[in-house]
Structure 1
Amino acid sequence: MEQAQQILEGLDEQQRRAATTLNGPVRIIAGAGAGKTRTVTRRIAYACVTGAWKPERALAVTFSVKAAAEMRARLEQLGLQGGTSGVTAATFHSAALRQLNSVWADVCEAPFPHLIDNQRDTVSRAITRATAVRDIDALTVRDVLAEINWAKISLVPIDDYARISVEANRQPPAGFDAARFAAIYDAYEQEKTSQGEIDFDDILLLVCHIMDDFPEAAAQIRSSIGWLTVDEYQDVSPLQHRLLNLWLGGGGPNGKAAMNRNVCVVGDPAQTIYSFAGASSWHLLQFADEFGPLSADINLNTDYRSTPEVVGLANRVLAAAPNREDYLKLVSAREKGVRISRTAYDTDDLEAQGVAA
């Protein structure tokens, strides 16, 4: 128990509450500089050290390779190792790819597809295939690819694209109408299939498909996830949210028949940065309605990183937002900062150094 208590050292009251509420659905709203990663990794470590969780069945997912690596490093510093006998901290895609590999031979006789090497080349071929145009500029390819990615993570089928794009007031890319874009999207899928390829989002889509239609494979995947932690939950896409529910056993006619309620989501609606790609803080804000009653609903609003002046300005900006009621009001734990003035420095380099300091 000494190691467990050491893990909790240095946490404030709200951080400690988050770190010691180990079972059932937990939501942590964490403002900028509030020690979010510190709290989450301490929670995982405390649960494993006390024996409340089995490390090999604990999965923590986040959005970037860098964030996942930082989480693994912090867990190792707290005495937890990764690998087959330790906690898995990974991106959504790497976790899903591992699961896909583990069950592929049981659900499909075809060779495991390889990840597409150059998505833009495939999109270019698809545009030519659907339009007979061969001289395609890079911006058109970029915009079409972005729209394909949006459709996939938004769970928009090819046949429904025209209708949904109108309902969402979404303009098809590169001057194409909705029907022509849908034809390009379909050609893109045919190009990939003919080459035995999948793209990044197909990894998540395939795992969702397997968990929907192959009960034994789904049970195998779910058995490896006893406790799920989702970082940056304000940036979850409809596709990632669908996968999360399937990991937990969600299904049934209303999609809410979750069998495993040991899920902790962490995020901040004021820090949503992937809305352009279909992400929304809606799932974070509606978490209590979807998974309630919650074991804990915790706000971390103490900013340990920024001075009171910076926090005050941040609060002023957030207070002017249309959805300001969704945002935390931050407080600074630091002493008053020093005002940086241009006249205090002789050169731009010195001024920049002062600001950074």
Structure 2
Amino acid sequence: MDLSPILNPLNDAQRAAVTAPLGPVLVLAGAGSGKTRVLTHRIAWLIQAEGVSPHGILAVTFTNKAAGEMRGRVERLLGVPGGGLWIGTFHGIAHRLLRLHWREANLAQGFQILDSEDQQRLIKKVIRAAELDETRWVPREVQWFINANKDEGRRPGQLKDENDPTRRQLIRLYAAYQAACASSGVVDFAELLLRAFELWRDNPALLSHYRRRFQHVLVDEFQDTNAIQYEWIRQLAAPGPEAPPGQHAAAARSAAAAAASFPFVVGDDDQCLAAGTLVTLADGSKRPIEAVSPGDLVMSSYGSGALRPAKVTERLARERSGRMLTLYMRSGRSICSTPEHTHFAGYLLGETPQTYFLYLMHKESVGWRLGTSQVYTNGQEKPMLGFKQRSAQEHADGTWIIRTHSTENDARLDEMLTSLRYGLPPLPFSPRKGKAVNGLVHDAKYI
């Protein structure tokens, strides 16, 4: 069997992780080191080298895009469609489980999913039904309270009011909201994971079935899991049973292997912020990160631009003497972090000053190339990020911004010098369609 397509693209450290013996594996690596590549190649390795059935593999990541790319990479490595593989987001896989086992999960067969706006509208109805003032009981804040507790795995009946009238009323609203969801046959996104966790917790035979099926559980960006996601994975990836007294050793190992799961998780343990970084708490106040304690509620990103409170479960601190990265904003604010920490930024398309990017693009079936693009379009139906559009046109697996320039000529000069220095071609993988030569992306006119 030719394993070179799986192993040849990897460096030594990646190859060691991909070919690690069966058993629990934790892979720690920094940003941009190829963690997701390791995970996808591990899946291909399990199938090709270890003889694992695709039906016995469950891979979890955080975004639909990442899940789609992961599946595509695995299929390209195997050369066949990845039928039987369960690859998806936490919410997507939880949704799939609940559709299959709606009765055991105490859901309506045709239950519907509430998005964030739908959830807020239902919460407004609950607040009005309770004859409460919406200016005092703000729907978004009630939503934060409900979702934060679901992310921690807590139902209304498990919460204590702590002799706080405000908290007591929030718990009542949480309970009323859940009753409204049940009567309407709907669930919100936070409910998907909590209900999937409860599905396995309350149905041991069902959990045992999935433990036997998914003996290989792979998780991307493990450092970003919240409490309920971690507990859900922990349920599935439990160790095998102890051998009964007197059982033959080989038979005992076989019985244990038949029920044991082999978790393979990749994560970054060095996404740290420097002391003095201000963190926004759920009440709107700000506190230096070193003063944040376990149990505090801090504002956290939950994807799609949504921010809501998340409970701090642990705080880690360490001394560092290496290089730090400081970002300065026009407002005068600055933020200092380790270079491995990912900072998210966006462009106000059509408003942000036009800039020119030098970018590096990769496509597994072709290789690497350099290119330049403007930040955003001017002549399209709506503005788009230049490198994002070009990446979509060429079906790239990844695109990285190398440098930014204020003029196109500077960007082109940088592209030429970088190409000569590193031997990277500037030609597109596929030419741009259309007649424009001075539009969003300029590469095609050089073909």
For normalisation by structure 1, the TM-score amounts to 0.69
Shift in Å, 1:57: 1.1
Q: What letter matches 1:318 in structure 2?
A: T
Do 1:59 and 1:228's aligned partners in 2 also have CA atoms closer than 8 Å? yes
Q: Secondary structure at the match of 1:104?
A: coil
1:12/1:248 CA distance change after superposition, 3 Å: same
Do 2:18 and 2:38's aligned partners in 1 also have CA atoms closer than 8 Å? yes
Shift in Å, 1:282: 5.7
Q: How many positions carry a matched residue from both structures?
A: 289
Q: Distance in 2 between matches of 1:237 and 1:186?
A: 22
Q: What residue in structure 1 maps to residue 91 of structure 2?
A: 93
Q: What letter matches 2:109 in structure 1?
A: P
Shift in Å, 1:25: 0.8
Shift in Å, 1:104: 2.7
- Structure 1 gap segments, 5+ residues each: 167-171, 286-310, 322-346
Shift in Å, 1:91: 0.3
1:355/1:229 CA distance change after superposition, 3 Å: farther
Q: What residue in structure 2 maps to residue 71 of structure 1?
A: 70
Fraction of identical pairs, as percent: 29
Aligned pairs (5 A) from 1:1-357 = 1-2=1-2, 4-79=3-78, 81=80, 85-105=83-103, 110-116=108-114, 118-133=118-133, 140-162=138-160, 177-249=166-238, 260-271=260-271, 274=301, 277-278=309-310, 312-314=323-325, 317-318=337-338, 348-350=406-408, 353=411
Q: Distance in 2 between matches of 1:354 and 1:30?
A: 33
Q: Distance in 2 between matches of 1:251 and 1:125?
A: 47
Shift in Å, 1:80: 5.7
Do 2:62 and 2:89's aligned partners in 1 also have CA atoms closer than 8 Å? yes
Deviations 1:259-286 (A, max 9, x none): 634001111133487596537796999x
Q: Distance in 2 between matches of 1:283 and 1:226?
A: 32
Do 2:161 and 2:168's aligned partners in 1 also have CA atoms closer than 8 Å? no
Do 1:113 and 1:197's aligned partners in 2 also have CA atoms closer than 8 Å? yes
Q: Distance in 1 between matches of 2:124 and 2:8?
A: 55
Larger radius of gyration: 2
1:314/1:42 CA distance change after superposition, 3 Å: farther
Q: Secondary structure at the match of 2:218?
A: strand
Q: Distance in 1 between matches of 2:46 and 2:316?
A: 23
Q: Distance in 2 between matches of 1:104 and 1:115?
A: 13
Do 1:235 and 1:280's aligned partners in 2 also have CA atoms closer than 8 Å? no
Q: Distance in 1 between matches of 2:230 and 2:47?
A: 26
Deviations 1:116-162 (A, max 9, x none): 251111111122233433x559x922222122111100123324444
Q: What residue in structure 1 maps to residue 389 of structure 2?
A: none
Do 1:233 and 1:266's aligned partners in 2 also have CA atoms closer than 8 Å? yes
The structure in which a higher percent of residues are helix is: 1
- Structure 2 gap segments, 5+ residues each: 242-255, 273-299, 303-307, 327-335, 342-404, 416-447
Q: Distance in 1 between matches of 2:181 and 2:102?
A: 18
Q: Distance in 2 between matches of 1:50 and 1:56?
A: 16
Q: What letter matches 2:262 in structure 1?
A: N
The structure in which a higher percent of residues are strand is: 2
Let me know the Cα RMSD of the aligned residues. Answer: 3.9
Do 2:27 and 2:266's aligned partners in 1 also have CA atoms closer than 8 Å? yes
Q: Distance in 2 between matches of 1:91 and 1:112?
A: 21
Deviations 1:269-307 (A, max 9, x none): 33487596537796999xxxxxxxxxxxxxxxxxxxxxx
- Mean Cα displacement is larger for which, 102-111 or 45-54? 102-111
Do 1:153 and 1:201's aligned partners in 2 also have CA atoms closer than 8 Å? yes
Q: What letter matches 1:260 in structure 2?
A: A
Q: Distance in 2 between matches of 1:269 and 1:100?
A: 32
Q: Secondary structure at the match of 1:278?
A: strand
For normalisation by structure 2, the TM-score amounts to 0.56
